[in-house]
Structure 1
Amino acid sequence: MILGCEALLADNKKIESLKGKKIAMVVGPASVDSNLQSSFKLFLKKGLSINLLIGLQHGFEGDKQDNMIETPHDIKKNQSIPVYSLYSKTRRLNKEMLNQFDVLLFDIQDVGCRIYTYLTSLFYILEDCEKENKEVWVLDRPNPVGREVEGFLLQKELTSFVGAAPILLKHGLTLAEAALWYKNLKSLKINLVVIKMLNYYIDKEPWPKHLSWINPSPNLPRLSSTIIYPGSVLIEGTTLSEGRGTTRPLEIIGAPYLNTQKILEILKKDFLKYTKHCIIREMNFEPCFHKFKTESCKALQIHVDNKTYTQDFNAFSLMSVILKIIKTVHPKKDLWSKPPYEYEYKKMPIDLISGSYFLREWVDSGGHNNALEDQLKKDKEIWLKSRKDFLLY
């Protein structure tokens, strides 16, 4: 299997076509080849004129922990190439950046989830580059959570930086496929070049075994946390801890008061089908920072790094049901966190994350399971039709 960046590096004709052009590269800590060499440094060795580097949320070096922690521009790092941030005072390419390049190479590792802001940044970049007649080349990378989809379609009124288009929460696309889909959706007249991966079989092996996992952001340190993320990210919209400040962020859910024994009993008794393809166990943790800092939390940990896991694991439905049970077991606790969340100061974080008002209303009202399943099925059918013409693998 060959990554998009590796395919381009090996294509002498395309490399020659880029020589003499001013190039920008969007990269992060996971922008490496199979031997863990920095892709932008490899392109420099090929003789390309990289005029500027661009980092996204969590910073060019991937060192910023949390939401709304911005990274300033820096022109002193990395061989005197200026480093601009699209998670600073601006989340868009401005004139200063756009005037410095002809072609933008986008080489970012994504995690297959709408709320992960690298996807929104890609969509913004396509729009901004179209206006200034700039080329965009997307060097494709694996979607580690595969082709299966889940979650709600984004409601238009909940459009935000964590949801910029009517796409399912877990969308089942690579970033190159998403770029093609978005170009068509918005009828963008942009010169978009896709550099496909070679010998990539997303249905059989979403994350090829020969590739090392480099966390693309600080709180997805393991492949297993990425698999659980389409469900555990919902906890960011609650007063519960999603395990930030521990060694297992986004694999655990907890609070000092949580009656995990009762929650697990109800889950296994009434919602057993949602626990397929994973193992859930009780545990305790004490966060070093973030929610419940230095407090002992009772928690549930979701395990998918075992033989039970398949691509059919539905993290979103599982976490939705767990939230419903927690609301039942602890009815007097304020479950939902308040704004702001990712530069939205009025809308509820859980609504922005899920992309719909449905989940919060369903949990609060003690809605029937069939109502959740019916809505998820409806949204899934719409999304599968929307994406079908843009699959590359």
Structure 2
Amino acid sequence: MRAIYLLILLLAFCVLNEPLAAAVKPGIDVLISTSALSNLKGKKIGLVTNHTAVSRNMEHTFDLLRSREKLVGYKLTALFAPEHGLFGSQHASEDVKSFVSKYGIPVHSLHGKTRRPTDDMLKGIDLIIYDIQDIGSRSYTYTTTLYYVMEEAAKRGIGVMVLDRPNPIGGKIVDGPMLDQNLRSMVGYINVPYCHGMTAGELALFFNKEYAIGCSLQVIPMEGWKRSMTFDETGLQWIPTSPQIPEATTPFFYPMTGILGELSVVNIGVGYTLPFKVVGAPWIDGKKFAKQLNDNHFAGIYFEPFCYKPFFGKFAGQDCQGVMIVIKDKKRVKPVSVQFLLIGTLKALYPDQFKEALSQSKQRRQMFDKVSGSRAIFEMMETKPFIIWPLISFQEKERLAFLEKRKNYLLAEYRD
């Protein structure tokens, strides 16, 4: 009996000491519950959004704004859809089609032949509201869409309001190369590290001033979010931001293998059930690969030998060996540094396959440079025999300078 009593006490202690998820309110919740909503009165509004724009109670931003039109006295006149479409079902690089919604509101594509809103799309609009969940990596195109929208809005004197959302990997991880100005594209438009540690609202503030866009910009901050929080600490429900970002942890793995994926030397789980979380090929010895990686003792990370067979994509239908990436401490891991560890280890263990991947077509090389942000990275992989630490330390001074600069744009509401 005494043993059972002690067990109950122990279980109660564990439950009471289990960290609770915070009650974070996204920008849309703050907007509709404060006086900020009255600022929309008399305006014709365009909404840049997709399926990820939901409130804490899982109500869509479009529905919340539409239901308050008559009460406040504004009108939603257009929707704008980014990559993957309004409903998030289209795969990477697929053109998004424009259409008219069942409410008679036009939905304009910003990821097809047109990637910037045009005069016709913006005709009669007084304010553009942006509400999309991002993943915290520079090469993800949603924030590029935001910047294109800000540039076009500024040219026409249209205001922009950003309803802020969490950076799912937190606001303290800053890692990876900067962006070469000559490589600006849809997969990288601003000169920030690959993992920048900022929210969409903070990036908008950064972009507006540092690039002298000068649009009339308002950011509606979240309530309850702090920079140290990862998404699973927010109490919010994760909605896959695109077909290959299915879970709240996937944004950690995307910057660990996404650049590597552009080399097309290995499968990175795209085409399997663990996108960006595994690295494998038919010619890899999984145990040997895992040991070599783990012997480096990178903080917060572990590599488990893993066997799998991709359904589609690189090595589809072939038995692959490699590793599954296991995050042991989200607060300590450096995602892009992990990626450079993977790249350097692959080159050391499998030089022939790696060299073959480097002799890829010009088009693939161009995309690799755009995604990584620098031509120097590919050149280092070609010329240096040992590349892990040169890649990790690449542009360290520039990152430190960025950390100082970004202090001007970090929202005070998010301080720990």
Structure 2 residue 378 is the aligned partner of structure 1 residue 360: yes
Other-structure match for 1:230: 255
Structure 2 residue 243 is the aligned partner of structure 1 residue 218: yes
Picking from 255, 266, 269, the partner of 1:243 is 269
Mapped contact 1:237–1:337 kept (Cα < 8 A): no
RMSD of the TM alignment (CA)? Answer: 1.9
Pairwise CA distance, 1:137: 0.2
Structure 2 residue 354 is the aligned partner of structure 1 residue 329: no
SS at match of 1:96: helix
Pairwise CA distance, 1:206: 5.1
Structure 2 residue 214 is the aligned partner of structure 1 residue 189: yes
Structure 2 residue 52 is the aligned partner of structure 1 residue 30: yes
Pairwise CA distance, 1:268: 2.7
Other-structure match for 1:138: 162
Pairwise CA distance, 1:18: 1.2
Rate the CA distance shift 1:245–1:256 in 2: closer, same or farther, 3 A. Answer: same
2-structure distance, mates of 1:197, 1:29:
19
Picking from 300, 303, 319, the partner of 1:296 is 319
SS at match of 2:53: coil
Equivalent pairs: percent with the same residue?
29
Unaligned stretches of 5+ in structure 2? 1-23
Other-structure match for 1:121: 145
Mapped contact 2:343–2:388 kept (Cα < 8 A): no
Larger of the two Rg values belongs to structure: 2
SS at match of 2:344: helix
Mapped contact 1:235–1:253 kept (Cα < 8 A): no
Rate the CA distance shift 1:339–1:46 in 2: closer, same or farther, 3 A. Answer: farther
2-structure distance, mates of 1:243, 1:374:
27
1-structure distance, mates of 2:180, 2:46:
33
TM-score (norm 1): 0.92
Other-structure match for 1:63: 89
Pairwise CA distance, 1:69: 1.0
SS at match of 1:194: strand
Picking from 167, 170, 174, the partner of 1:149 is 174
Mapped contact 1:107–1:140 kept (Cα < 8 A): yes
2-structure distance, mates of 1:18, 1:65:
34
Other-structure match for 2:19: none
Other-structure match for 2:26: 3
TM-score (norm 2): 0.87
**Cα deviation per residue 1:72-103 (whole Å; 9 max; x = unaligned)?**
1111x342211111101111111111114211
2-structure distance, mates of 1:369, 1:243:
22
2-structure distance, mates of 1:104, 1:360:
39
1-structure distance, mates of 2:99, 2:359:
34
* 2:410 partner letter: L
Mapped contact 2:289–2:322 kept (Cα < 8 A): no
In the alignment of these two chains, the number of paired residues is 380
Pairwise CA distance, 1:133: 0.6
Picking from 377, 385, 392, the partner of 2:396 is 377
Mapped contact 2:173–2:334 kept (Cα < 8 A): no
**Cα deviation per residue 1:233-274 (whole Å; 9 max; x = unaligned)?**
1133121212112221111112222222222222233x22x2
Other-structure match for 1:259: 285
* Higher relative helix content: 2
